[in-house]
Chain A
Amino acid sequence: MVSVGRIVQEESLRQFKEMGTDILTIEKEFGGGGPPGSGAAKSALRLDTVLAIPSRCPGIAAVAPSVRGNGDISFNGKKLERSSPMGVTASFLDINKLTMEEGRFLSDLDEQSRYCVIGSQVAAELQKQGAARLLGSKIRLGDNLFTVIGVTNEVPQGGMRRFEPNEMIYLHITTGLRVFANAEIQSITARVSNGTTNNAARDQVMAYVASLGKGQAVRITSPEEIIAQMEKQMQMFTLLLGAIGSISLIVGGVGVMNVMLVSVTERRREIGIRRALGAKRGDIRGQFLIESVILSLIGGLLGIIFGIGASWLIAHFAKWQFALSFSAILLGVGVSNAVGIFFGYYPARQASLLDPIVALKSD
């Protein structure tokens, strides 16, 4: 149980580190929950104001605004499933820690162009549809045809990005703003300059956006917040698993107690013999306690082996990175020990309190 919780935790941390801790996500604040269309018209972030952020806010090193589009995407007349278009700038590649597998990424010179860069999943899809060469293939997006100029490397599933990099079709943001219906900049990824804290950078951006007036407002999320939120979820998760674990522990402990009680009754004669030969009450109690601990430890070891196997399977199918938690194993051994002592104490005490002569006469 704990092992699975641990894997989930490691996993989120890994995804997190992959993106870096110096990335802020700036999103447009939609205010009082009105329909996005109506609110957006008034307070849409303009591209030039967004691109001015690094020069106006010294705490921000670079920004990568993006605009999401929708609509049918097709290749050779066949619809491409699981793909979606997004308008981005040249800085997008670096900030999102993406790398090119083939060709080049969009540059600032591609403004208003009909070029696109595709994710690895889309590339695979194109090849399945019979594209001989990826670069130069033409993808239809609504009424427009786009020429593929690059393919990004595959990115592991999950992660902190707010989009699925492998399923993206990247256009230049200027093209996107023009061809997408209701296009507006919803999300900006910003990299904080070296030596500036996330909070300071965030305050600068807030101040800048406020200075624009016109009811402009953004919501800025820092990695710390996301991690805090995730940790809270993690805690709930671990707590839940822990509760289930505790119940099984009690059930197991009662089982151990039962086995030991039976063992004590079956071995009364032995207890009597040992007492006659000079065993003190404490010796008998110790003997049965040790046996109970050994029993629990065997159970605990089986449990640990099973647990490692199960968490490996879960990690395997959830495509998480498998992490062996040594503290969980230690905990398992410790807890088995404790269960053995706790639930073995009563039977061991019963054994030690047996009258020597009564024990000896029984069979």
Chain B
Amino acid sequence: MLTLRDIRKSYRIGPTEVEVLKGVSLEIKQGELVSIMGQSGCGKSTLMNIIGLLDRPTSGSFMLDGAEVSYTNDDALSEIRNQRIGFVFQQYFLLSRLTALENVALPLVYRGDKSTNSHERCMELLKRVGMDDRAHHRPAELSGGQQQRVAIARALVGNPSLILADEPTGALDTQVGGEIMELFKTLNAEEGITVVIITHDPGIARQCKRVAVMKDGVIVP
């Protein structure tokens, strides 16, 4: 599903150039459940942002579903994010002014087609993550775990083939984190969605079929 070859990313801070990713090569197949581990600052989030098409590598090749996306234009990248990728962030990143339901519906707003039953679809997904009774609450009225559930529903609403989760349980206690992890596992098992999870929790990583370890800007074999 995605193939990274010799991905490099460097930041220029003043006169010095810092290379964060030093040639990452990684292949993830359709339907995999992968976790990425590694020390803080080793470049996991940087890699994830590149995979999620939020950031561009300095060099290297990135094939998504068999197509090179390194030179794809901005609008087309937005479209790919909208149609094929679901994001789950450590800080949930829900829009505070919108209700849970409206947050879930947000990706559909940016779809060209105004499908008629989007409301039902959103409710269905909220039900799936066990949040249908809180559909009209705003994020501030929800606990962290509940917010993350809403965020997962939002990631799912566009029927993505890939879910990228950057420390999705990082702000949650072990029990709630475990529940969130169960959700990912079900999605992966039942719907064949490819899931990539960055985590510091070995307990989480252990539940994944595959663990990639990063160290100092490269994937350790």
Contacts and interface: CB of A to CB of B under 8 A. Distances in A.
Interface string B51-95: 010110000000000000000001100110111000100000101
Given A274-B106, A360-B93, A281 B52 contact: no
Contact of A357 (B49, B78, B82): B49
Interface string B26-70: 000000000000000000000001001011000000000000000
Interface of B: 49, 52, 54-55, 74-75, 78-79, 81-83, 87, 93, 95, 106-107, 110-111, 154, 158
Nearest to A277: B107
A352 B82 CA distance: 17
A207 to B, nearest CB: 79
Given A276-B81, A357-B54, A269 B106 contact: no
A276 B110 contact: no
Given A278-B79, A280-B78, A360-B54, 7 more contacts: A272-B93, A273-B93, A275-B81, A278-B107, A280-B75, A281-B75, A283-B110
B95 A273 contact: yes
26 contacts: A270-B95, A273-B95, A274-B95, A274-B110, A275-B54, A275-B78, A275-B81, A276-B54, A276-B81, A276-B93, A277-B81, A277-B82, A277-B107, A277-B154, A278-B82, A278-B83, A278-B110, A278-B111, A278-B158, A280-B75, A280-B110, A281-B78, A356-B54, A357-B49, A357-B54, A360-B54
A279 interface: yes
Nearest to A363: B91
A272 B78 CA distance: 12
A280 B77 CA distance: 9
Q: Which 9 A-B pairs have the closest CB atoms?
A: A278-B82, A278-B110, A357-B55, A280-B78, A277-B107, A357-B54, A356-B54, A280-B75, A273-B93
Q: Is the interface of A mostly helix, strand, loop or mixed?
A: helix
Contacts of B93: 269, 272-273, 276, 360
A114 B116 CA distance: 92
Nearest to A269: B93
Contacts of B95: 270, 273-274
Nearest to B53: A356
A275 B111 CA distance: 12
B74 A281 contact: yes
Nearest to B81: A278
Nearest to A353: B74
